[in-house]
Structure 1
Amino acid sequence: MRFDNHRVVITAAGRDFGRTLAIRFADLGAEVFLSARGVAAAERVRDEIRARGSERVHAFACDLTDPASIRDFAAGVARHTEHIDILINNGSRYLDGPDLLAASDEEIADTLASGATGTVLTVKNFLPLLLASDKPDVVTLVSACGTAGHHRSEAHDAFYAAKSAQAGFSEILSKRLRAQGVRVISLYPPDFDNAAPLSEEWNSTPRNAESPLTAQSLVECVQFAVSQPRDCFIKAFHFEQV
């Protein structure tokens, strides 16, 4: 499916999985509004997308730990369009280490603010633009760390807390926004390979049951969910961890 009639907002798209999402949706015709904590990173991905032949791409700075920065991002997008169709909450600081005492108070606060508060405020500020669409979707890249009982990641406790908050928020959001036609879709992957395939490798890279989960597979899950008829609410993707 192509996304020529879709306007897509992606947070934390300056590198890794966010960059992969931005490139893929732009390649498939979507108008993309991408953000990164530093505008230079967002502009690099914007320029990369333009070099691939897509002109409908816009770069913004957005620090998900700063409410004013989130408001500015939403206002900046609103100056370009009267609605958006897909909001992808990709941004959330990763914090490594299974020792609670190993991280500073500031690192813990930043992790919780970006993943938990940042996600809530991003949806809140973009909700008017979403409700103006006839096909609004909210997609959140949570993590297996947001699943009850999960303990197999080397992520810090604060990252687990942030992802659990995202999961709880997505759960209630799905129920409360469904009557307004907004689909809320969550992905709960374990650790995965962030490398983005080149466009010519996208559908030719061999994968089997023993292969590690890839960014390509996750992007294809997102594309599948948002391309379904509007009466199909795919609530979540959970992945078996090898």
Structure 2
Amino acid sequence: MKFENLRVVVTGASRYFGRAIAIGFAHLGAEVFVSARTVEAAEHTRTEVLGEARNRIHTFGCDLSRPAEIRDFARQVGEHTDRVDLLVNNGARWLDGFELEGASDDSIVETIESTAGGTVLMVKHFLPLLRASQRPDIVNMVAVCSLGGAADSPAHEAFYAAKGAQAGFADILARRLHPSGVRVFSLYPPDFSTSDPRSAEWEGIGRDAQYPDEKLTTQALFECIVYAVEQPRDCFIRSFHFEPR
């Protein structure tokens, strides 16, 4: 129970990395508030948590492209707790396709609003709860493509634009919140394996040194977050950058 009583908020927690973060922190003893576009999707994550950790997960519906739902999410979390110690901005609308004209206007706008605008508004509305913590941290799940890398990614240009905006926000946010003691750090991973946190792979079994081209794993990314959160408060880790394989 390394993080007993830690209060964690995770967006986009119905599947993949967001789901893994929620389950991982719940098993480490944290109380976790998870959101997905529908409360039913978030609840699916909670039902898959094993043992007593399930009781430490609270589920909410929140479409990050809708400001009113973000405000409501923050209000509801505030009714459960007087503080938030860690905010993980993981939620993002994925959009694929190599041709700009291939996506509808609505899907392009939703991608940018949910990823870039959603991150900004999540921080804005959760800052009061973060400032009430003695150990406030914000994690932004960005992407290597935000830095101009991974040009062969199947992501649509709008996704690149959204992640670029998110990276710019994370950088200025880290600088401006630093004096107040709120730490901000971001992860810039390439494509990575989305292993199940309950599986053998999550525990490190199945990774073999003779296969150096194996993708970065969910477990490794989660452990980076845990490492950063565990550091003394005078240690500010701005970002984790990973080389594409």
Query: Normalization by structure 1: what TM-score?
Result: 0.96
Which of structure 1's runs of 4+ aligned residues deviate more than 6 A?
Answer: none
Instruction: Give the fraction of aligned pairs with identical amino acids, expressed as a percent.
Output: 56
> Any idea what SS the aligned residue of 2:192 has?
coil
Structure 2 gaps, min length 5: none
> Any idea what SS the aligned residue of 2:80 has?
coil
- 1:241 match: 244
Alignment of 1:129-208 (within 5 A): 129-148=129-148, 150-198=150-198, 201-205=201-205, 206-208=207-209
Deviation track 1:115-138 (CA, whole Å, cap 9, x = no partner) reads 010000000000000000010000
Deviation track 1:134-180 (CA, whole Å, cap 9, x = no partner) reads 10000010001111455231210000000000000000000000001
2:125 is equivalent to residue 125 of structure 1: yes
Residue 193 of structure 1: how far off its partner (Å) = 1.1
Distance of 1:93 and 1:67 partners within structure 2? 15
Structure 1 gaps, min length 5: none
> Any idea what SS the aligned residue of 1:79 has?
helix
Alignment of 1:4-43 (within 5 A): 4-43=4-43
Distance of 2:167 and 2:117 partners within structure 1? 12
Counterpart residue identity of residue 20, structure 1? A
> Any idea what SS the aligned residue of 1:93 has?
coil
User: 1:17·1:196 contact (CA, 8 Å) conserved in 2?
Assistant: no
Distance of 1:160 and 1:174 partners within structure 2? 21
- 2:92 match: 92
Query: Normalization by structure 2: what TM-score?
Result: 0.94
Distance of 1:8 and 1:149 partners within structure 2? 30
- 1:71 match: 71
- 2:62 match: 62
Distance of 2:167 and 2:208 partners within structure 1? 29
Deviation track 1:19-73 (CA, whole Å, cap 9, x = no partner) reads 0000000000000000000110111112222x43211210001010000000000
Distance of 1:124 and 1:207 partners within structure 2? 42
Residue 200 of structure 1: how far off its partner (Å) = 5.6
Two-structure CA RMSD over aligned residues (Å):
1.4
